[in-house]
């Protein structure tokens, strides 16, 4: 990429003629940046949604560190497949539903989370068997096909017995409704699913690893750079700059994107109009691991 032949998104290019303040404000937006694994996961999620119902529906586990883009990815899929109202039939069709796993693997809380997302009035005191049959009935009526469960590692928030019951429940609703389950959460979720032999076989593992200094990271940084309204080229994917970004960010996409946006704002303010290692070093950025250590030191000091 040379300065004049830089590839910018249309939005970034249009912003080049705007004032410094406008360009800095635009950096507060968090556009979705696509990358290889994200594309493959989105393609697979779409394939599950389009596949005919089966009595052994495949499921997915998207596992990765916190702040590494799991929720943003599944949200992109759920936003692309919203519930629709069929005026003629006066019925709602909801083929994809997103819920957060309750803090503990509690069946009632889980069913209530589904019902609330479907705007079904619920009675918190209703007996579990009633809540369960109501949930299954309504999921059938709306034609649910894919249930996305975020923070699925919360399965670990209960005793072993409770965890086992919950895994049985997942298998039961998946079989009974013939729906695909897409779980996302910390890598520890894999351990929970592996304790159930049948679920392990059914859940495809889709890891979202921490970014490392390699070709796919170069592509990611080039894509992020193409969204920045800077007058000059930064070459974020050059080895030294890439490694500095990875070192300061700890390698999660959330931290990488935030660091680069902060650096871009600083580059506009300073008139440098490009991000290099000197500018990154001047930000006073504290890497997430160091932030954590500092917080632990304060807490340890207090106790
Ligand atoms: N594909 C992406 N493109 C741009 N920014 C992203 C992307 N994925 C994640 N982010 C950034 O990372 C932050 C954390 O992402 P999130 O999906 O909430 O992580 P997780 O669910 O893994 O904890 C988001 O607020 C967003 O700023
Ligand atoms: Mg999340």
Residues 231-277 pLDDT 10s? 999 999 999 999 999 999 999 999 999 999 999 999 999 999 999 99
Nearest ligand 1 atom, CA 255: 12
Q: Are 90 and 96 in contact (CB under 8 A)?
A: no
- What rounded mean pLDDT belongs to the chain? 93
Give the C-alpha separation, 274 to 266, whole Å: 9
| DSSP string covering 251-285 | T-HHHHHHHHHHHHHHHHHHT--S--HHHHHHTTP
Q: What is the mean pLDDT of the segment spanning 1-28?
A: 86
pLDDT at 5: 57
Nearest ligand 1 atom, CA 72: 17
Instruction: Indicate if the pLDDT at residue 183 is higher than 50.
Output: yes
User: Which of 69, 189, 256 for a ligand 1 pocket mutation test, highest count of atoms within 8 Å of Cβ?
Assistant: 69
Residue 248 C-beta-side C-alpha neighbours within 13 Å = 23
Distance 64 CA to ligand 1 centre (A): 11
Strand, helix or coil for residue 107: helix
At 82, list the tokens: 């919203």
pLDDT tens across 39-98, in order?
Answer: 999 999 999 999 999 988 999 999 999 999 999 999 999 999 999 988 877 788 999 999
Give the C-alpha separation, 118 to 121, whole Å: 9
Distance 256 CA to ligand 1 centre (A): 10
Distance 127 CA to ligand 2 centre (A): 31
**Which ligand ends up closest to the CA of 74?**
1
Instruction: Tell if the pTM clears 0.85, that is, is over it.
Output: yes
Nearest ligand 1 atom, CA 76: 1
Distance 99 CA to ligand 2 centre (A): 11
Give the C-alpha separation, 92 to 31, whole Å: 30
> Which carries the bigger pLDDT value, residue 126 or residue 28?
28
Q: Are 76 and 111 in contact (CB under 8 A)?
A: no
pLDDT at 70: 98
Secondary structure element (H or E) that encloses residue 64, with its range:
strand 59-64
| Buried/exposed 78-109: b ≥16 CB within 10 Å, e otherwise | beebebeeeeeeeeeebbbbbbebbebbbbbe
Nearest ligand 1 atom, CA 208: 22
Give the C-alpha separation, 107 to 28, whole Å: 39
């Amino acid at each position: 990429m040379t300065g004049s032949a830089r590839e910018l998104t249309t939005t970034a290019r249009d912003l080049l003629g705007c004032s410094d303040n406008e360009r800095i404000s635009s950096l507060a937006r968090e556009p979705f940046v696509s990358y290889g694994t994200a594309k493959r996961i989105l393609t697979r999620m779409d394939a599950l949604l389009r596949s005919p119902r089966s009595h052994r529906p495949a499921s997915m586990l998207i596992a990765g560190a916190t702040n590494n883009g799991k929720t943003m990815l599944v949200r992109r899929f759920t936003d692309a497949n919203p519930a629709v109202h069929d005026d003629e039939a006066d019925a709602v069709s909801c083929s994809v539903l997103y819920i957060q796993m309750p803090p503990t693997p509690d069946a009632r809380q889980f069913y209530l989370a589904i019902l609330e997302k479907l705007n079904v009035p619920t009675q918190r005191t209703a007996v579990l068997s009633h809540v369960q049959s109501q949930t299954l009935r309504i999921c059938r009526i709306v034609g649910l096909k894919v249930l996305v469960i975020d923070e699925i590692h919360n399965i670990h928030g209960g005793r072993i017995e409770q965890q086992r019951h919950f895994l049985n429940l997942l298998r039961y609703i998946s079989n009974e409704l013939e729906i695909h389950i897409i779980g996302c959460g910390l890598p520890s979720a894999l351990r929970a699913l592996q304790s159930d032999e049948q679920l392990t076989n059914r859940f495809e593992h889709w890891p979202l690893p921490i970014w490392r200094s390699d070709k796919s990271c170069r592509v990611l940084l080039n894509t992020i750079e193409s969204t920045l309204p800077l007058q000059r080229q930064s070459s974020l994917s050059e080895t030294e700059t890439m490694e500095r970004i990875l070192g300061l960010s700890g390698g999660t996409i959330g931290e990488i994107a935030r660091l680069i946006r902060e650096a871009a704002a600083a580059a506009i303010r300073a008139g440098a109009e490009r991000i290099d290692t000197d500018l990154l070093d001047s930000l006073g950025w504290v890497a997430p691991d160091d932030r954590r250590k500092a917080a632990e030191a304060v807490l340890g000091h207090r106790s």
